A and B are shown apart, each in its own frame.
Chain A
């Protein structure tokens, strides 16, 4: 047993676990308040008020919703395939959350206030347990782990998220669920292609699959004031890649204007028709986690992640820039929901395969040509 424990780099794993726990708490809070923010922002767009009763300005609304979901009657239809029916929300939610650990949310090697005392406490604790630690916690890295194929990991886990929807649609044993599930998953896999290809075009200026290095390469400015973000790299290939990415991301997460598979007036409610109470809440949550994932990826790869003014002198400011960019994308999602009508399904699939995919492919060639000429 001790040989097992000696072969693990225990401080690193414990540190990573703590960061994952903090990240998870952050995601849960973001998702809960995304629902609230969506309702308030949609209300402003639609010239009404939105929930503002529960707590000051309605800020306790997510808790009210959570309590409602927990106490709702959990109806499981008799003819469903029980094992798969119960598994599906988990399969949708877990990969979406797993993706979030590869993003850097601040610079590496950031001074931690109180690091000396923390190092002393942790080292004495470890030595008292028999380990021989000599940790230096005065500086920490603001990323969970240094994953050298981070971008591929993101693609892999978003591909796995499709299964939850397919299984949910099939296991519910109802026409609406099956058709909604098939439509939704077909849409997701079609737009996954355009999404991945648009990011390939960005890999040329980015130079690495490691998201930490991608963000670090976006530091500095051109001409003193234009930030060296990937969206402006290899102009105009970066902009086209950003456009393709944004459209694919919205289609991938089944949001307006691509939300036909779960629109209320179509197919009852799509693949989550037969789900009630907490399982429906899990699907709902999974949709918002997917949105957050996609927004974080956009902020990291295109807008420079934690890069921003004054990050050199105040490293923790990087975290603020990162959060700001992610929230900008989330706001964009809500804004689009309040503004655009939805696509018909055949228009949607046509657009994904016949327009977006060729544009993404041509953009890769364009980026390569510009990269060779100017990089």
Chain B
């Protein structure tokens, strides 16, 4: 039992607890915070595998930008707490349980039977050899700009499409269009930003 195993156990346990938190909490802000904790734990796990770049990018992009977007949306659009509803499709849980166990069995089988060698873990104090290490800055840059440069460019165009689409959807239209939207909404005001008050548990 080395420190690396203890670290893995601790981080993995925290990640699992936070993940359960995401689905079991009623207040959506708490779920979002649970997801942030999961992402940070995953980043720490990447660090134990010497994939420093992936760990940093996980936090910069996923926990630091995408989840901020989620949290903004929850706050601004007044996403309320889940009210418990009666379960209308009661038979589903009888299917879900066995399927989950089947999934676990499949994962165990794959881990036991498939035999791929683990990728070489880079020595963190040297320049990593890009072709054999995994997840360091050098290896990702090497792959991204030589073997995978076309998918990289295609992904950039995809992101550009998303930006243009968002700008188009959020543009301020002509006066006639604004009037039409106002009328369709029935003259009600826009959604107010939510406050903590609305999420007090009943």
B3 near A8: Cβ-Cβ < 8 Å: yes
A333 at the interface (CB under 8 A from B): no
Please name the residue on chain A nearest to B76 by beta carbon.
A182
Residues of B within 8 A of A239 (CB): none
B1 CB contact (under 8 Å) in A3, A148, A152: A3
A81 at the interface (CB under 8 A from B): yes
A172 at the interface (CB under 8 A from B): yes
A146 at the interface (CB under 8 A from B): yes
B52 CB contact (under 8 Å) in A149, A170, A178: A149
Residues of B within 8 A of A4 (CB): 1-3, 6
B71 CB contact (under 8 Å) in A156, A160, A166: A166
Task: For the complex, give the distance between the alpha carbons of A80 and B137 in Å.
Answer: 43
A79 near B196: Cβ-Cβ < 8 Å: yes
Instruction: Report, as a range, how many residues of chain B touch the other chain.
Output: 20 to 34
Task: For the complex, give the distance between the alpha carbons of A162 and B67 in Å.
Answer: 11
If A156-B60, A159-B60 touch, does A174 touch B68 (CB 8 Å cutoff)? no
B56 CB contact (under 8 Å) in A153, A182, A189: A153
Task: For the complex, give the distance between the alpha carbons of A320 and B129 in Å.
Answer: 37
Please name the residue on chain A nearest to B2 by beta carbon.
A7
Residues of B within 8 A of A182 (CB): 72, 75-76, 193
A170 near B56: Cβ-Cβ < 8 Å: no
Task: For the complex, give the distance between the alpha carbons of A45 and B27 in Å.
Answer: 49
If A8-B3, A209-B137 touch, does A173 touch B196 (CB 8 Å cutoff)? yes
Interface SS of chain B: helix
Please name the residue on chain A nearest to B198 by beta carbon.
A173
B29 CB contact (under 8 Å) in A84, A160, A162: A84
B97 at the interface (CB under 8 A from A): no
A163 at the interface (CB under 8 A from B): yes
Task: Give per-residue flags for B174-202: 1 if the beta carbon is below 8 A from chain A beta carbons, else 0.
Answer: 00000000000000000001111101000
A84 to chain B, nearest CB (A): 7
B65 at the interface (CB under 8 A from A): yes
B137 near A170: Cβ-Cβ < 8 Å: no
A173 near B60: Cβ-Cβ < 8 Å: no
A160 near B63: Cβ-Cβ < 8 Å: yes
A148 near B125: Cβ-Cβ < 8 Å: yes
Residues of A within 8 A of B196 (CB): 79-81, 84, 170-173
A363 at the interface (CB under 8 A from B): no
Residues of B within 8 A of A7 (CB): 2-4
Residues of B within 8 A of A209 (CB): 137
Task: For the complex, give the distance between the alpha carbons of A326 and B63 in Å.
Answer: 29
Residues of A within 8 A of B194 (CB): 170
Residues of B within 8 A of A167 (CB): 29, 33, 71
A248 at the interface (CB under 8 A from B): no
In this complex, the member of A84, A146, A159 whose beta carbon has the largest number of chain B beta carbons within 10 angstroms is A159
A235 at the interface (CB under 8 A from B): no
B76 near A156: Cβ-Cβ < 8 Å: no
A155 at the interface (CB under 8 A from B): yes
List the 10 shortest-distance A-B pairs measured between CB atoms, nearest first: A159-B64, A152-B56, A7-B2, A156-B59, A173-B196, A81-B196, A149-B52, A7-B3, A8-B3, A156-B60
Beyond A4-B6, A7-B4, A185-B68, 6 additional contacts (C-beta under 8 Å) are A152-B56, A155-B56, A159-B59, A160-B40, A170-B75, A170-B195
Can you sample 5 A-B contacts with CB below 8 Å? A3-B2, A156-B60, A159-B63, A160-B64, A178-B195
